[in-house]
Amino acid sequence: MKDISLDFRFGLEAGKSLQAAIAGDFSQDMLPLKEKIEHARRILLDGTGPGNDFLGWLRLPEMLTEEALAPILEKAAEFRKKSHVFVCIGIGGSYLGARAVIEALKPQLAPALPDSPLVLYAGHHLGEDYMAELLASLDRFEYTLCVISKSGTTTEPAIAFRLLRGHLEKKYGKAEARRRIVAITDKAKGALKILADQEGYTSYVVPDNVGGRFSVLTPVGLFPLAVAGIDIRALARGAQRMRQRLSGENLDWSSNIAAQYALFRQFLYQGKGKKIELLSSFDSRFHYLCQWWTQLFGESEGKQHKGLFPAQAAFTTDLHSLGQYIQDGERLFLETLLSLQEGNSRVEIPCDEENLDGMDFVAGKRVSFVNEKAEEGTCMAHSQEGGVPVLRIRIPSLDEASLGQLLYFFEYACALSGYAMDINPFDQPGVEAYKKNMFRLLGK
Ligand code: PA5
């Protein structure tokens, strides 16, 4: 398995300081942050920081043994056999991890992975027309569903499940509908748990000590992924590899890329006043990975009027829209680029004798070669002319093993980065405000 690596080359001054820091030569202005991140790692590993009852995600990779995965794979195989469509109900951390991996790995122009059901999503918003279309299309397909809610009380998935359960029962009868539903929720509490027990649905538990946005390596992510045809064993191997890299007794700055990334972010936020982190990529398959990352960092760090605002851009598409602002607008940004090192296919640009389009200068080159040069040129433009510090995360290939590494890397870096800001990265008190108003307006 090839490792993910970081490239600070395009950070200019910040990049040089970070490069030196990683080699052991911390500049004066970085020393306080070095200490903060070392402290953050200590309290993360000792379990003495705020939110320490939500650290179960740290050890998830090593818990993904064959024994743990087998029942998930078995039920997923049963669902795969009997469904053209698989509906995944959930919101936030109960949905984004699975979608991030599925959308990254499925063929881009095909609806699903080969010989696998089409995955549709519900309960991730309250769009009525979407729900009407979904129900109408499910009339025509054989389908199964899973409903995911740790609390078991979240409004959006609860409404979607009520509607879809009704549809499924009408279509197949109550007994078969029960066999076509999997519930993933708390082990003891919540409305979904009560319903699942009463109906006898196959159920999986979201561990108490794992919060939603850190739950992709629990059944929350693993079950939908297995139904979608993703190799969850390979995903687990990737996460295990990253865990090994990050969890030595002492913090080795030269190899701990989560600490390096946390340092990059916090140095630019606390030290240089940057307010926005832009996660960009030159491959559109990373779109939902960026959404997952946005939720992970936004919900973990945006507290007590602190935190980098997580934004995202898809290049080269967005170079023709946001590109102007990034290059030339207010200097609010740092940029983290997800850089794919090797794609899966080859397409060469043909020669054209007439050359009327003037593109013969790239004839014989692969499309990926042009994309690489666009990436390189953009990094130079943003960092040198635009003054945007750029960090590249090099991802060797787009497969389960790389994504397993990446997911765990981001979770670990997020925890370090949050602790380095003296906040609790594992709660989300701000999410309650809209719910309180909505429930009052609905007369709950
Ligand atoms: O990360 C989180 O904790 C949240 O995004 C939750 O995952 C989201 O609000 C859904 O909650 P639940 O799984 O309880 O329905």
Q: Pick the range with the lowest mean pLDDT from 178-187, 240-249, 359-368, 428-437.
A: 428-437
Specify the pLDDT at position 320.
96
Residue from 67, 128, 249, 320 carrying the catalytic annotation:
320
Residues above pLDDT 90, as percent of the chain: 88
Whether the pLDDT of residue 432 is over 90: the answer is no
215 Cα–ligand 1 center, Å: 10
**Cβ–Cβ < 8 Å for 300, 426:** yes
Confidence of residue 17 (pLDDT cuts 50, 70, 90): confident
pTM: predicted TM-score of the whole model, two decimal places: 0.96
d(CA 54, CA 342): 36
Stretch among 123-127, 227-231, 361-365, 435-439 having the lowest mean pLDDT? 435-439
Q: How far apart are CA 420 and CA 424, in angstroms?
A: 10
Closest-CA residue, ligand 1 atom 2, reads 212
- Of 277, 299, 301, 411, the catalytic one is 299
**Res 326: pLDDT:** 95
pLDDT digit string, tens, across residues 304-318: 999 999 999 999 999
pLDDT digits (tens, 9 = 90+) for 30-84: 999 999 999 999 999 999 999 999 999 999 999 999 999 999 999 999 999 999 9
Whether the per-residue pLDDT at 212 is higher than 90: the answer is yes
Tell me which of 21 and 418 has the higher pLDDT: 418
In angstroms, rounded to a whole number, what is the distance separating the alpha carbons of residues 126 and 425? Answer: 27
Is the confidence at residue 429, as pLDDT, over 90? no
Higher pLDDT, 19 or 280: 280
pLDDT level of residue 435 (50, 70, 90 thresholds): confident
Q: Is the pLDDT of residue 436 over 90?
A: no
299 annotated active-site: yes
Per-residue pLDDT at 196: 96
The two most distant CA atoms of the chain are separated, in Å, by 72
Instruction: Give me ligand 1 centre to Cα 91, in Å.
Output: 6
Tell me what pLDDT residue 412 has. Answer: 98
**Does 149 contact ligand 1 (Cβ within 6 A)?**
yes
Asked whether the beta carbons of 98 and 88 are under 8 A apart, the reply is yes
Residue 302, amino acid: G
What is d(CA 253, CA 80) in angstroms, rounded to the nearest whole number?
Answer: 44
CB 337 within 8 A of CB 390: yes
**Is the CB of 212 within 6 Å of ligand 1?**
yes
218 preceded by cis ω (within 30°)? no
Tell me if residue 84 is catalytic: no
In the prediction, which pLDDT does 425 show? Answer: 96
Pick the residue whose CA is nearest to atom 15 on ligand 1. Answer: 149
**How close is the Cα of 116 to the center of ligand 1, in Å?**
27
Q: Which residue shows structure tokens 């507290």?
A: 303
Ligand 1, closest atom to CA 93?
7
Q: Please provide the average confidence, as pLDDT, over all residues in the chain.
A: 95
Q: What is the dihedral of CA 213, 215, 220, 221, to 10 degrees?
A: 90
In angstroms, what is the span from residue 154 Cα to ligand 1's centroid?
8
Local confidence band at 249 (pLDDT 50, 70, 90 cut-offs) = confident
102-112 pLDDT, tens digit each: 999 999 999 89
Question: What's the pLDDT tens digit per position in 369-424?
Answer: 999 999 999 999 999 999 999 999 999 999 999 999 999 999 999 999 999 999 99
Three-state secondary structure string covering the chain: CCCCEEECHHHHHHHHHHHHHHCCCCCHHHHHHHHHHHHHHHHHHHCCCCCHHHCHHHHHHHHCCHHHHHHHHHHHHHHHHHCCEEEEECCHHHCHHHHHHHHHHCCCCCCCCCCCCEEEEECCCCCHHHHHHHHHHHCCCCEEEEEEECCCCCHHHHHHHHHHHHHHHHHHCHHHHHHCEEEEECCCCCHHHHHHHHHCCEEEECCCCCCHHHCCCCHHHHHHHHHHCCCHHHHHHHHHHHHHHHCCCCCCCCCCHHHHHHHHHHHHHHHCCCCEEEEEECCHHHHHHHHHHHHHHHHHHCCCCCCCEEEEEECCHHHHCCHHHHHHCCCCEEEEEEEECCCCCCCECCCCCCCCCCCHHHCCCEHHHHHHHHHHHHHHHHHHHCCCCEEEEEECCCCHHHHHHHHHHHHHHHHHHHHCCCCCCCCCHHHHHHHHHHHHHHCC
Provide the pLDDT for residue 244.
95
pLDDT for position 321:
95
CB of 154 closer than 6 A to ligand 1?
yes
Mean pLDDT of 254-282: 95
